[in-house]
Amino acid sequence: MNEASSGDTLLFLTDEQLRQGIEAMFFAYRGFTSAPDQILEGMDYGRAHHRALHFIARVPGMNVKRLLEILGVTKQSLNRVLRTLIEDGLVDSRVGTSDKRERHLFLTEKGRELEARLSDAQRRQMRSAYRQAGPDAVAGFRQVLEAMIEPQVRATYASLREGQG
């Protein structure tokens, strides 16, 4: 609500509107993570494992550096998670063919099973929300979310969509 007091058309930018959006985002994110969290509790895994599984499933054969960029954590942090997934036989780490320094990550059958369970639960939750809100709302939802992604991260996000959009 800066210059141009054009009243009506900018009402969606009032502080109160923004605050409601902020709170909706806070509560919705809890709902967003709750289904996979419930599956994971009791297992020795957490949200971090879920994220790793998700993106390895999404881009099979991706190397560690790429996964680090996507997740936005340090390699020490990722390594703790990745190690247990490899030890437990959910993830397969293969030496690169062209560049042997790299490790390429794949899900094993066991890994695919867990990832599928988690994804199904999360999609079910998401599908329900989408269905309630309808297609036009979903389009707007996506537009706002994409505008919220930080510029440095946007390239990473976009690259995930290429080739499988």
Partner DNA sequence: ATGTTAAGTCAGCCTTGTTGACATTCCAAG
Partner DNA sequence: CTTGGAATGTCAACAAGGCTGACTTAACAT
Q: Which residues bind its own copies (CB under 8 A)?
A: 1-2, 9, 11-13, 15-32, 34, 51, 54, 58, 72, 119, 122-123, 125-150, 153, 156-157, 160-161, 164-165
Q: Which is nearer to DNA, 78 or 90 (CB)?
A: 78
Amino acid at position 66, single letter: R
Which run of H or of E encompasses 95? Answer: strand 91-95
Q: Please pick, from the candidates 47, 117, 123, 127, the single residue that binds DNA as defined by CB under 7 A.
A: 47
Amino acid at position 100, single letter: K
Dig out the tokens for 17 from the structure: 């509107």
CA distance 42 to 39: 8
152 binds DNA (CB under 7 A): no
Give the total of residues touching DNA (CB under 7 A): 32
Q: How far is the CB of 61 from its own copies (least distance, A)?
A: 18
Q: Which is nearer to DNA, 2 or 97 (CB)?
A: 97
CA dist 71 → 48, 74, 85, 110 (Å) = 9, 9, 16, 22
